[in-house]
Amino acid sequence: MKRYAASTPSAQRAADKARKDKAYRWNRESYSHQRRFVDIWGFVLTLMFKLWRYNKSWSYPGGVTEEKQAHRRRAQAIWIRETFLDLGPTFIKVGQLFSTRADLFPSEYVDELSKLQDKVPAFSYEQAEMLIEKDFGKKVSQLYRTFDPIPLAAASLGQVHKATLHSGEEVVVKVQRPALKQLFTVDLQILRGIARFFQNHPDWGRGRDWLGIYEECSRILWEEIDYLNEGSNADTFRRNFRAYEWVKVPRVYWRYTSPRVVTLEYIPGIKISHYEALEAAGLDRKELAHLGAKAYLQQLLNDGFFHADPHPGNIAVSPEGALIFYDFGMMGRIKANIREQLMETLFGIAQKDGDRVMHSLVEMGALAKVDDMGPVRRSIQYMLDHFMDKPFENQSVSQISEDLYEIAYDQPFRFPATFTFVMRAFSTLEGVGKGLDPEFNFMEIARPFAMQLMADSNGSNSTSSSFLNELGRQAAQVSSTALSLPRRIEDTIEKLEQGDLRIRVRSIESDRILRRMSSIQLGTNYTLLISAFTLSATILFVQGYVGLAVVVALGASALAFVLIRLLMRLDRFDRMF
């Protein structure tokens, strides 16, 4: 858990004031399911209206400009972040998950959601005491020698109290927020309906698996509020680093742990972003930056089990200079097949082979296969040509992530949660490292790990040997393809003869001519209608039916406006080709 100052009467008054300052509806005992439904759908409908208005030029005073649109996007992003805070724990966590999905949402939304913090009021000690006694069937005084009633920290999912066991060990006790599971159940049921609505929407549902995103978020949320799962994660993480003295992980006291309460060893430390305190303690900031990157690369590339939320609040430094990791509710795993395809991606990037990178991303599940993969391949090739002009060591993880997500936005990229967590963690660690050491370069530290991984995947400790093995594999593949080519040609001819193979040819020139002919025919019809309306209006006016003449004339004017728009669109299309 995070390190906080000891509780004082002033801290108690501040906590009481915070509880009074913000009265969240979701935190009330009388809050009904019906009201929750109205609140959530009210937010969704308001958001839909804002998105609809965004594309309407008349909604911008003085005319639409890129600057005005950017300002409106930022304002909408701030409004979304503040609304998520008001809607409570479920939406705070969903917003934090969405902050990793720059492939799905505009950058302004992602930037604001990344600032989303669990600034919610603490619940009372009486509620925490009741929950602990209900889970363990014993009074708090029987479980702990001392238990501080004032929480060290309060978040959306729970709060942390400092305590002492009867055996004398100092611990921290994380207690889940009362009725959190009931709130999750109601919210996720409503969110499923919202996801289904967006999935079936003719515009927002195209190319987006909203139901899949919902299932992914739901799984992660349920895992995070299961404190038995968090304790198991902490134990696994601790075992993985048992041979490294420069990493410390709190021990879990399973006798005092339940699905809603987890008791962990109290390991105080200096927050890794408190640079002045680190220097005052005589710690080497440059070495700490190096150790932070090394620890995460060890998790990702060697263990396959990594901390998915390594922000500065979850990492501290002991007086001896060891890294202390906290909060193991959100962890990620790298599967064997993902590692294999990751190697394919690395080789493809090294060779600037857009096709190979594209196929490996499809196999990894990061790219959805569509009928026409040409535009996707060109986007990937552009990315490779743009990035690989710089030496490996001089590249920035944050910049690569931003460019990658910018290319992926509105493309059929579907980055798995694991991939987005890794990219966010890399970017966060790079930011922390640069704060500790302005000359810190994450890529430079990652290079030997990547080269070792590439060598190991080929069964060799030599980098040159790994590339020779890869070259041999490609030669074998080319030979196999060449030997099978006659048979494939014969199969293709046979399918043509049987009518099983259809060839579709598209001529841009023919399409242009047909489109022009269709537009001209439509324009002719509009012209005839305008002439008929004008003639009718003239006859009615001469006969003294002024009112009817005006109505018919307005109809003729409307048709003339449509005709002009049609001719302008036809002219733009001709200039395109």
Active site residues: 309
d(CA 449, CA 454): 9
CA distances from 368 to 142, 359, 376, 416 (A): 56, 10, 10, 11
Instruction: Read off the amino acid at residue 511.
Output: D
Element (H, E) at 265: strand 261-265
Sign of the torsion angle spanned by Cα atoms 199, 200, 201, 202: positive
d(CA 264, CA 163): 10
Element (H, E) at 144: strand 144-147
56 φ, ψ to 5°? -100, 115
d(CA 261, CA 332): 22
3-state secondary structure 300-353: HHHHCEEECCCCHHHEEECCCCCEEECCCCCEEECCHHHHHHHHHHHHHHHCCC
3-state SS, residue 297: helix
Q: To 5 degrees, how large is the angle CA 400–CA 297–CA 467?
A: 75
d(CA 232, CA 228): 6
CB neighbours of residue 497 within 10 Å: 9
d(CA 313, CA 432): 11
Q: To 5 degrees, how large is the angle CA 391–CA 393–CA 396?
A: 100
* Long-range contacts (CB closer than 8 Å, 24 or more residues apart) made by 227-235: 227/174, 227/176, 227/257, 227/258, 227/259, 227/260, 227/261, 227/262, 228/257, 228/258, 228/259, 228/262, 229/329, 230/262, 230/328, 230/329, 231/257, 231/262, 231/328, 233/328, 233/329, 233/331, 234/264, 234/328
Instruction: Read off the amino acid at residue 156.
Output: S
d(CA 466, CA 449): 14
Q: Residue 72, class by beta-carbon neighbours within 10 Å (0-12 exposed, 13-18 middle, 19+ buried)?
A: middle
CA distances from 555 to 308, 409, 542, 559, 566 (A): 62, 43, 18, 6, 17
H-type helices in 366-507, by residue range? Answer: 374-387, 397-408, 417-436, 442-457, 463-498
Residues 6+ apart with CB under 8 A from 275: 285, 435, 436
536 φ, ψ to 5°? -65, -45
